[in-house]
Structure 1
Amino acid sequence: MNDSNMIKRAERPGFCLIGSKVVVLVNRYITYFCPETIINMYKFSVTPETKSKAIKGALVEELTKTSLGNKVIAFDGMHIYTITLFPSEYEKEYVIELNEGASEDASRSVSYSVTIHLAKSLKMQELKDYYNGEQSYVSQDILHAINVVVRALSSSCLNAPRAMFSTKFGPIIDTKEGLELWQGCYKGVCLSHYGLDLTIDTTVAPFYKSISMVKFVGEFLGRTDFNRAFSHKEYAKIERALKGVQVETIHHTDRTMKYRIKGLSVVPLKELMFSVDDDGIMTTVVDYYQSRYNCKLEYIHWPSLQCGVSGRQIYLPMEVCKLVQGQRYRQKLSTTQAAKLLKITCKRPQNRLNGILKAARGNFDVEELTEGEFSASGFPKVLYGSVLSAPLLKYGNEEIFMPIGGQWNMANKKIIDGGKVERWACLNFSKVPALEVDNFCSELINMCNKIGMVFEGKPLAVQQSSNFMDIQSALESLLSYISELFTDEGNCQRLQLLIVVLPEEKGHYGTIKRICETQLGIVSQCCLPKYVKAKVNVEYLENVALKINVKAGGRNAILQEGLPFLSDIPTIIFGADVSHPPPGVYSSSVSAVVASMDWPEVATYRCVISAQQPKQEIITNLFQVTQDSNGCVKTDSMIKELLLNFYQKNRRKPERIIFYRDGVSESQFSPVLLHEVDAIRKACISLDEHYVPPITFLVVQKRHQTRLFPLPTTRKPEPKGIRKPEPKGILPGTVVDYGICDPCGFDFYLTSHASEGSCRPTHYHVLFDENRFTAGALQSITYNLCYTYARCTRSVSIVPPVYYAHLAASRGRSYQGNFGDGSSIRETTPGDELPEFLQVPKIHENVSEVMFYC
């Protein structure tokens, strides 16, 4: 299994032959190319080295104007692509001066040495040979080059990004929080059954507003009082938001200087001093601006912007700076910002389709991209798909029903297996009055009992207005009180559930979960204050009750007939995901694997969480053999642990494995397939050398730009006088596995959820399939699974094991918290060992057997 040639990607066994046929429209354009075309790829090198895309782009633009004869080229930050071969004398060293302001943090012209040399020539004939069956693959270099060239040609920009944003795609939306939402257009080329496809989609992204820094701080922090210093939390929030962002000065009357922010000063502006000359004479920044620019600074209690390069620090007061226009905001959006973005992106299918058609017409002439080398059809693809039937669901009291439209409710329904909660408590960290908390708890308990749980009405303890600044003490104090209570009664019963009303201040959820689940062994349910103090929301209570039931060991619903094609043989279904630390955060990556425990129903999942090296996508602890300091061999196996749990639950080994893997890009398919399938196999053999169950390994992708749209013409003619409304969106269960899929691989697009807006189907890649499923069988298994998600009453867009793995990985990350700015853990840690404080704490045995992460 160590040889990459031993793991061959699964071949398509056929196409979907079940379900009813439906016609769909896809935002793909058939793209034509000239087989004789050659794209020449030139390596671009610059000295001194720079990572700045802006500097590289400026250098290439200047080079094109002055030395390359204004030839049509495309640039991706590392290579120059051109259809016309440069003469050999062009491959030499060029010296380019970038004028003041052309390079970040430059106060004078900077000289760069640039060289180009031909790296390779990419022949489009390779694509023709591939589709004629004369070649088994297409190199990633060719696909990447085509993407770079087509994006550059269609946007008239030599360094075009994947998505272009402009006011011509729609108005700019002000979030009132220092940001604005720009509408744009995405372009990308990929392979399909018919040949090359050009994908065009509309998109929305947040940008920094081009406003003064003072105004930005006021909006971003929601401040009206500008006369007080930053709190520690405000300082951290502003520094995180501004790091790497470009600003321009506004205090010069004759020129504008541009700088890139490296951080904020540690001390306030009024205390900040620097040396004005070589003699070491010190002055304050405040006095310097007064004497040099006759500028009296007002916000001297704020920190300064720290710019410049190493050894030459530049401190800029915020009030003399303005944000440069056109900069993407890369941080996580606030709740209100995300809501505004969702409102824009969630368009009716016809509205989004009209936007795509408009973007296609306005972005380029689809009939002729450039000189006959590439061209595209004038209308998006129209394809056949299949609509799979929804499964029958079974609730308590033997109630069986079929969901319609991918969603349902709990009206007159009881959960299939109700959990039992006799010992519970409530802890309130918010400012919500005790009476309102009591009322909320009563309503929640009533809902739990209504849906079929056995829930004791009175808590063992209700602690109100606990100090959220000392969560650890509050939780330990509560547990101590409960323990003493049981000791007095002469038994050793433990607390089964803790309801926590979160503080109004954000950022404490991870701390509460870490203490409860890794130290105290308590299952907890956190509730936001806005729902506790508001008028009772029945839908919210219902959803919370469903979560509490699975945390108490119950099950909400099962499939009446079990999963298709799986009820005959014991089958375990895995889901796996890796959560990576955000940029600038000193932390490890966290992997999570969940596995079904209750065959044949497949509704309960157990999870294992592990930490690994940052940005490492391959899950290292699926099966790993290491040696301790004494030379003793030990194994870390997430798979083995879950297989043993399955055996203990069912008294049978799984005879079939289905593994859904999230978060893997196409460039990572080969290494993930090689290492992770190998690890699964080794984990099985470690239990028994003859234990070799067949494995099916799928990658789940949601981050793609393919959209499906219904065609009104697909409706059957209605009787005279009766008119039904046009379909709002793609029907749940719609699967497309031809026309837009990998021409050689085994993949399919599945819409498993109800969508009133335009639909982004989930893309499933079957990389490995020893079970030899038919296309329809695997699609049915996947679709039916989407009706078993425990947290809601609807079919979900991706399979629940992947959802659960994502939740578990996020939970593991919340245990860690943030450890400040760390560029690379590898620089401080020998080998593959992570420091102890970056490891994920072990889940307490009292909660590990239930779905605590829900």
Structure 2
Amino acid sequence: MPPRAPPETRGGGAGGGGGARGGGRGGPRGGPPPRGGPRGGPPQGGPVGGRVSAPTGPSALPGSHVQAIGVKRPGYGTAGRAVTVYSNFFRTSLPESVIHHYDVIFPDEKALPARLNMELIHHLQTIDAVDVFTPRAVYDGRKNLFAARELPLGPQNSQQFDVCLSDDPNRGSPGENTSGRGPKVYKIRLTKVATINPEVLQRFINGQQSHDNSVLTALTALNVVVRMEPTMKYPFNVRSFFTNRETKDIGSGLVLWRGYFQSVRPAIGQLLINVDISTGTMYKPGPLMDLCLEFFGRPGQHSLLSPRNGMPDRERIRLQRFITGIRIRTTHAGENRAPRVVKKLSSAGAADLSFTLRDGTSKTVAQYFQTILNRPLRFPNNLCVEVGSGALLPLELCTVPEGQIMRKQVPPEKTKDVLDFATKRPADRLASITNGLAVLEYGQSEYVRQFGMHVEDAAGPLTVKARVLQPPKLKYGPGSAQPTITPANGAWNMIDKRFFKPAAIEKWIVVIYERQQRFTQQSAQDMVDGMLRSFKDVGIRVTDERPAVTWQNGQGRIADQLRAAGSDPKSKLRPQLIVVVLPENGNDIYTAVKHFGDVTVGVATQCLKSQKCFRAKPQYYANVCLKINVKLGGINTIPDPQSVTILTDPRHPTIVMGADVIHPAPGSDGRPSFTALVGNVDSDSAKYIAVSRVQASRVEIIEDLRDMARNVLSMYMKYRQFAEKKTGNPAPARLIFYRDGVSEGQFKQVLDSELQALKDACADLKINPKITIIIVAKRHHVRFFPTGSGPQEQDKSGNCLAGTVVDQVVAHPTEFDWYLQSHGGLLGTSRPAHYNVLYDENAFSADGLQSLSFALCHVYARSTRSVSIPAPVYYADIVCSRAKNHYDPQGAVDFSETATQLDSGQADGTLEAYKRGFKPVHANMASVMYFS
């Protein structure tokens, strides 16, 4: 028998299959795949024949009886200049006949990888029970199987099958079947759960049917139908699959593959397929030892993988984290052997690992394989991998099959390579999508044909009516050459403009963490002079023209160094601003600086990268001033009150909030999620404050929202009362809440939980603003492309113009939603933001909310460009990302990349530790935009 790891280090579970390989999120509205309607019974949704006629086209609105999760569409926008754009959607017909829905259960198994499940069902349909599956059914890799005709499963509509993937009784590595056990047999039970009538989908897209479980199940079924063919042929990842037609080797053992995303989506009066390109990160195929050495960037240096030759344990664990879950084949066992899954790396080499044979004698792994191979191992001192069954295999005998997706975070130093590969100019992206139809082969798919669907891919991408909105006018301060400006395609500049409300600096200091030989006295003086000139240009008043400059060692205690640099025995003034010059890779120093300034002492800090300061142009310091001004309590620019009346109507004072949650990276179990709430305090929606919290890992709903909202609302009322000296009631009359990052399957939870939290916060303060909740989504695959090449059609990057809004044709059949591309393109194809109105006591019109959202994309203080989502949401995202700065860098909380695997009990205890260690921002910072 092959060598096995000692029992205390062995994990259970059968090998094979690789990691979980997707499994559908239950159609485009997310959530788990639906379990169908009534078990068995008549078809849902009435008779198959006789389509319900309903008004379609741009003027159609949902029927009065139709229920929506969010707000039903009240109408369509009309503002702006009409244009026509291409979209990455293709029309498809609905199936003509009912679809039969079956539950798939593996009675003896825990959850198996989706790829293995697919193989088992394929084997069942093509070899074990061909007569039952004619024509073949489609399967999502998890629980759902859909058939175009009823399967003959007997009177109970349920049947159990035995499936064995191997026809070879001797499969396995040498001696593995000495126990007499044959190959593994899997039990699969199919049970009919529902009959789906596509009629419900027809009614839904015509706005005559509520979005209920039957609609969700029907959409899931059609998504499984269009994905079945490619998932049988290619590596896949939930809704994308990848081919090796276009690849890029990025080193570290990784290769990028071009992929294709597809999703069946209901639209206004029609059913569409959304097709996009995507990127898959794959393990490089070939010998496993080569992959390991590439990971370290040391190809060919085989002795690096030998603990006996000094391989550090730290490096072994780093490598183990990289290759855990990868499927391998062994060169000595032949190609018929099923791939095995790597569980971990051994801590010693093959010559130093012993195991006991059945006869009681002991052998090393190297000796065992010398007997099997009739030759010694080439690298007996190198590591072994332990696979799922517990067997130990020398690295040199393992190979990595092609097309395995790496489901871990891409190393930070490879992010640029991934972006370069994924980024395509709009015309190129649209061409790639159209070419992808040849890979998708809808017309050739037996599954698409047998379900009676016809995809109009020959007609090309769908053209859509869009509008380009007018940007808001922006106001700058007195002394500006142009006090009011109109952005052109999402951009403007600061030349000859002064901030609307500039800050004042009485004392500031400069601390440099770069070597003085490199960043000299002259470099420092040039930087100070450049900043002083920019301060003057934008209107920031500086009393202290000769700030103290010190050089420090980044290995020391940063907080003590900054405290010492800021204490001046000759002056009672403490610095209002600390400018810190960072070396290359100064992330740890940055975190310590931010903790010191934002949390410990409450002083504004501005970090600069040293290489950016060498001979920096005035534009660079002007951009730095944008950040410094708001950190010191100033306001850079405001939207002109005439151009955004919703925000500036004095009879309806309005608070705009942005909220977000950020989750730990994959594999970082036990780490918490961070939440943020940002809200304006001024009447112009330009000055924002933020609060953030820690909560249980990967929980999307904001747990402390009531307390956070009460905090922000109180600050809003105080600012109006004391800073703006408003008389009368300081409470807001309207509360507009933009929520980022919620999938469509969680809309109901936001309404049930977060809306109530906002109402409770208002009740605590005895105020009663009318609430509007809007979800902003960026993680989707909808793209728009200009149809013409003139400046009225596209910008310099080839993208649609900033302000392009689409709320017809490809929008939701019943809900109040729209797509808005609010920023000018720079690289690649711009992604529009998708807005869904979940709740609206203010009864805003489509034009009102679309122009408001576009205006809020222009008040982002850190740039002179409009951004892709409203500023408060963007700020909330930044505050979440910076939450780790709230922990003491010298404390016990560790944010390094050591992935911890914790059970729920440990995780609860760790969460309490994370909550205890999380410090709120200093009182001085709570009322300014410290996060800018």
Same fold (TM over 0.5): yes
Q: How many residues align?
A: 813
Of 589, 601, 623, 1:543 maps to 623
Of 673, 677, 680, 1:589 maps to 673
Aligned to 2:113: 52
Tell me, yes or no, if structure 1 residue 82 matches structure 2 residue 147: yes
The SS at the match of 2:716 is helix
- Matches for 1:169-188 after TM superposition, within 5 Å: 171-188=246-263
Of 786, 793, 798, 2:864 maps to 793
Letter in 1 for 2:606: Q
Letter in 1 for 2:834: H
The SS at the match of 2:115 is helix
Instruction: Compute the displacement of 1:678 (Å).
Output: 0.8
Aligned to 1:765: 836
Contact 1:104 1:260 in 2 (8 A): no
> Aligned partners of 1:510, 1:822: CA distance in 2, in Å?
22
Of 664, 676, 690, 1:607 maps to 690
Deviates more, 1:413-422 or 1:177-186: 413-422
The SS at the match of 2:82 is strand
> Aligned partners of 1:16, 1:174: CA distance in 2, in Å?
46
- Matches for 1:61-210 after TM superposition, within 5 Å: 61-69=122-130, 70-71=133-134, 72-76=136-140, 77-89=142-154, 91-99=158-166, 109-131=183-205, 135-139=209-213, 140-153=216-229, 161-168=238-245, 171-210=246-285
Tell me, yes or no, if structure 1 residue 565 matches structure 2 residue 646: yes
Of 704, 709, 713, 2:785 maps to 709
> Aligned partners of 1:113, 1:754: CA distance in 2, in Å?
55
> Aligned partners of 1:732, 1:327: CA distance in 2, in Å?
39
Instruction: Compute the displacement of 1:238 (Å).
Output: 3.1
Deviations 1:521-578 (A, max 9, x none): 343333345435x553555444333222222222222222363322112111110111
Instruction: Compute the displacement of 1:656 (Å).
Output: 0.7
Tell me, yes or no, if structure 1 residue 261 matches structure 2 residue 342: yes
Of 265, 288, 297, 1:222 maps to 297
Give the superposed CA RMSD: 3.5
Instruction: Compute the displacement of 1:810 (Å).
Output: 1.0
Contact 1:104 1:258 in 2 (8 A): no
Contact 1:26 1:707 in 2 (8 A): yes
Deviations 1:719-773 (A, max 9, x none): xxxxx99992211111010111111110000010112643321100011111111
Instruction: Compute the displacement of 1:205 (Å).
Output: 2.6
Contact 1:709 1:759 in 2 (8 A): no
- Structure 2's unaligned 5+ residue stretches are 1-65, 178-182, 305-309, 722-729, 888-892
Deviates more, 1:488-497 or 1:42-51: 488-497
- Matches for 1:431-580 after TM superposition, within 5 Å: 433-435=518-520, 438=524, 441-442=527-528, 443-455=530-542, 456-467=544-555, 470=556, 473-480=557-564, 482-483=566-567, 485=568, 488-489=569-570, 491=572, 493-494=574-575, 496-502=577-583, 504=585, 509-532=590-613, 535-536=615-616, 539-561=619-641, 563-568=644-649, 569-580=652-663
Instruction: Compute the displacement of 1:425 (Å).
Output: 3.6
> Aligned partners of 1:305, 1:457: CA distance in 2, in Å?
63
Letter in 2 for 1:376: V
> Aligned partners of 1:362, 1:74: CA distance in 2, in Å?
19
Tell me, yes or no, if structure 1 residue 344 matches structure 2 residue 421: yes
Contact 1:43 1:119 in 2 (8 A): no
> Aligned partners of 1:252, 1:761: CA distance in 2, in Å?
51
Shift of the 536–290 alpha-carbon distance from structure 1 to 2, 3 Å rule, reads farther
Instruction: Compute the displacement of 1:411 (Å).
Output: 2.7
Letter in 1 for 2:419: L
Shift of the 735–497 alpha-carbon distance from structure 1 to 2, 3 Å rule, reads same
> Aligned partners of 1:499, 1:209: CA distance in 2, in Å?
41
Contact 1:659 1:696 in 2 (8 A): yes
Instruction: Compute the displacement of 1:696 (Å).
Output: 0.6
> Aligned partners of 1:103, 1:440: CA distance in 2, in Å?
71
Aligned to 1:746: 816
Tell me, yes or no, if structure 1 residue 389 matches structure 2 residue 470: yes
- Structure 1's unaligned 5+ residue stretches are 624-636, 718-723
The SS at the match of 1:59 is helix
Aligned to 1:730: 800
The SS at the match of 1:61 is helix
Aligned to 2:737: 659
Contact 1:367 1:375 in 2 (8 A): no
**TM-score normalised by length of structure 2:** 0.80
Shift of the 36–92 alpha-carbon distance from structure 1 to 2, 3 Å rule, reads closer
Deviations 1:88-130 (A, max 9, x none): 2383222223448999999663232221111222221212333
> Aligned partners of 1:173, 1:198: CA distance in 2, in Å?
28
Of 697, 709, 715, 2:773 maps to 697
The SS at the match of 2:187 is strand
> Aligned partners of 1:536, 1:299: CA distance in 2, in Å?
56
Aligned to 1:627: none
Shift of the 758–505 alpha-carbon distance from structure 1 to 2, 3 Å rule, reads closer
Shift of the 136–275 alpha-carbon distance from structure 1 to 2, 3 Å rule, reads same
Shift of the 464–65 alpha-carbon distance from structure 1 to 2, 3 Å rule, reads same
Instruction: Compute the displacement of 1:417 (Å).
Output: 2.6
> Aligned partners of 1:104, 1:669: CA distance in 2, in Å?
51
> Aligned partners of 1:106, 1:30: CA distance in 2, in Å?
56
Of 749, 762, 773, 1:684 maps to 762
> Aligned partners of 1:515, 1:242: CA distance in 2, in Å?
38
Of 327, 334, 340, 1:246 maps to 327
Shift of the 370–799 alpha-carbon distance from structure 1 to 2, 3 Å rule, reads same
Shift of the 255–40 alpha-carbon distance from structure 1 to 2, 3 Å rule, reads closer
The SS at the match of 1:573 is strand
Contact 1:163 1:187 in 2 (8 A): yes
Shift of the 276–595 alpha-carbon distance from structure 1 to 2, 3 Å rule, reads same
> Aligned partners of 1:133, 1:550: CA distance in 2, in Å?
47
- Matches for 1:832-851 after TM superposition, within 5 Å: 834-836=912-914, 840-851=918-929
Shift of the 520–115 alpha-carbon distance from structure 1 to 2, 3 Å rule, reads same
Deviations 1:205-255 (A, max 9, x none): 322211434433443333466655556765554333323222333466787
Letter in 2 for 1:438: A
The SS at the match of 1:84 is coil
The SS at the match of 2:119 is helix
Contact 1:510 1:817 in 2 (8 A): no
Letter in 1 for 2:296: L
Of 490, 498, 504, 1:406 maps to 490
Aligned to 1:721: none
Aligned to 1:629: none
Deviations 1:58-104 (A, max 9, x none): 22122222333154222212222211211123832222234489999
Deviates more, 1:705-714 or 1:271-280: 271-280
Instruction: Compute the displacement of 1:479 (Å).
Output: 0.8
Instruction: Compute the displacement of 1:842 (Å).
Output: 1.9
Aligned to 1:631: none
Contact 1:305 1:315 in 2 (8 A): yes
Contact 1:392 1:560 in 2 (8 A): yes
Instruction: Compute the displacement of 1:673 (Å).
Output: 1.5
Contact 1:250 1:256 in 2 (8 A): no
> Aligned partners of 2:431, 2:787: CA distance in 1, in Å?
13
Instruction: Compute the displacement of 1:406 (Å).
Output: 1.2
Shift of the 214–772 alpha-carbon distance from structure 1 to 2, 3 Å rule, reads same
Contact 1:587 1:838 in 2 (8 A): no
Contact 1:42 1:117 in 2 (8 A): yes
Aligned to 2:63: none
> Aligned partners of 1:56, 1:243: CA distance in 2, in Å?
20
> Aligned partners of 1:451, 1:694: CA distance in 2, in Å?
38
